[in-house]
Amino acid sequence: MSKFPGLKLTNIDAPSLGSPITMTDEGKLIVPNDPVIPFIEGDGIGPDITRAMKIVAENAVYKAYGSNKKLHFWEIYAGEKCNQMFGNWLIDDTLEAIKYFKVAIKGPLMTPVGGGIRSINVRLRQALELYACIRPVRYFDGVPSPLKEPWKVNMVVFRENMEDVYAGIEWPAGSVECAKIRNVLTNEFGISLREDVGLGLKPISVFGSKRIMRKALQYAIERGRSSVTIVHKGNIMKYTEGLFRACCYEVAKEEFFDQTITEEDLSSKRTGFSSSKKVIVKDRIADAMFQQILLRPEEYDVVVTPNLNGDYLSDAIAATVGGLGIAPGANVGDEAAVFEATHGTAPKYAGMDKVNPTSLILSSVMMLEHIGWKEAAALIVRGIERTIQSKTVTYDLARLMKGASEVSCSKFAETVCENM
């Protein structure tokens, strides 16, 4: 009898060791002591940082639990390596594996600008219904930052992952399809457009908006965070991002009434509103929020946004604490979760054992927290803190830190293990 009943693979072999993570009917993970963790090493620098991540995660688990628990990493495929092996940038086996084993981790995947393949990252999110992109950003003491007081930054961005312009509903200029859409807009709605336009749709639904807000509020309540800020451009896009804002407030009011309070109610002089142990719900216009993360970052905790705003904003917040090299991320749905490096593939550094692996290592911290192995996660954070404070860092930080010792990607991982 198969060790993994129901796992249907065509191109790759099932893992030889480990057990699957399963889920209750209520959506709670059941994690064995030997979980299989599918991984995609990624393109460009992906193999380097994935090796580093695995070393750190495996060491942390051993130091936290001895031989009682162990991660069994199992390689699955997407991106350039997948295309070379199977003639496809993303194979069905990869999607099947993530659905089956519930939790996976991946390095960065290449997406060409303009023509060529669509984003594999977007395809993964859509195929697996990974509707919440979660990006925690915090400062590590000693990391060079453009802010005078970067330690005030401690935010978690919840970016809606399925809708908005990232849904990929668009037509190129000059195409027959684009002309049809343009004619409908002109003839039926009186909207005048130039003949040479490219067109795209920006779908934002009540369902999708409420779902991401629900996820953000649950996170804030469970983690004891102080506020959830809705970031939007509802002043201009009233029926899409304005809808997003309205739906977020509706979820707070109707589903989390006893656990939340709006900023408006808190600041009003009306009686009967207490902020004691409640999450404050507020909203900010997106362009103003970019100012706020620089000037008043301490006022923001959990941030929830539509897709495009979240993409911009999460990278901008990461820049305030030292850049994407130390910013982790996860794409989470109700059935599966994929943890990932948030930066690009940096192909000019591929295979050089040079780049900073902290983003993917911190993503493994999120993964360990997700499966409930919090002791191992805490060890990794401690190891990173001590390593950076000792100024033993990769080139990207070493060139900005006076008196730093520059080390390779793999040596940085080894040092993190020593400093746990």
Is-catalytic flag, 391?
no
What integer pLDDT is reported at residue 1 of this predicted model?
46
Residues in the chain: 420
Q: Could you give the C-alpha distances from 79 to 37, 41, 108, in angstroms and in order? A: 18, 9, 9
Cβ neighbours of residue 190 under 8 Å, at least 6 residues apart? none
At the top level of CATH, which class does the domain 145-164+202-321 belong to? Answer: alpha beta
Cβ neighbours of residue 358 under 8 Å, at least 6 residues apart? 325, 326, 384, 412
Strand partners, 158: 134, 304
Cβ proximity of 232 and 246 under 8 Å: no
Examine domains 1-134+325-419 and 145-164+202-321 and report if their fold is the same.
yes
Is-catalytic flag, 233?
yes
Bind-site residues for NADP(+): 343-349, 356, 395, 399
Bind-site residues for Mg(2+): 311
What integer pLDDT is reported at residue 225 of this predicted model?
94
Cβ proximity of 159 and 133 under 8 Å: yes
359 φ, ψ (degrees, to nearest 5): -55, -50
- In the set 8, 287, 334, 374, the catalytic residue is 287
- In the set 311, 353, 354, 396, the catalytic residue is 311
Instruction: Please tell me the distance from the alpha carbon of residue 75 to that of residue 359, in angstroms, as a whole number.
Output: 19
What integer pLDDT is reported at residue 267 of this predicted model?
80
Bind-site residues: 119, 121, 125, 135, 159, 311, 343-349, 356, 395, 399
Q: Which long-range contacts (CB under 8 A, 24 or more apart) does 58-63 make?
A: 59/417, 59/420, 60/368, 60/376, 60/377, 60/379, 60/380, 60/383, 60/417, 60/420, 61/368, 61/373, 61/376, 63/376, 63/379, 63/420
Is-catalytic flag, 100?
no
CATH number of 1-134+325-419: 3.40.718.10
Q: Of 147, 408, 159, nearest to 302 (Cα)?
A: 159
Instruction: Please tell me the distance from the alpha carbon of residue 381 to that of residue 377, in angstroms, as a whole number.
Output: 7
Write down the residue that tokens 């699957």 correspond to: 20
- In the set 77, 166, 249, 300, the catalytic residue is 166
Bind-site residues for D-threo-isocitrate: 119, 121, 125, 135, 159
Angle at alpha carbon of residue 215, lines to 210 and 219, rounded to 5°: 145
Q: Would you say the C-alpha torsion 136, 381, 31, 340 has a positive or negative sign?
A: positive
Q: Of 130, 171, 309, 148, nearest to 233 (Cα)?
A: 309
User: Hey, where are the domains in the chain?
Assistant: 1-134+325-419, 145-164+202-321
Is-catalytic flag, 354?
no
Local confidence pLDDT in tens for the 420 residues of the chain:
468 989 999 999 999 999 999 999 888 999 999 999 999 999 999 999 999 999 999 999 999 999 999 999 999 999 999 999 999 999 999 999 999 999 999 999 987 555 556 688 888 998 999 999 999 999 999 998 989 999 999 999 999 999 999 888 999 999 999 999 999 999 999 999 999 999 999 999 999 999 999 999 999 999 999 999 999 999 999 999 999 999 999 999 999 999 999 998 888 755 455 556 899 999 999 999 999 999 999 999 999 999 999 999 999 999 999 887 888 999 999 999 999 998 889 999 999 999 999 999 999 999 999 999 999 999 999 999 999 999 999 999 999 889 999 999 999 999 999 999
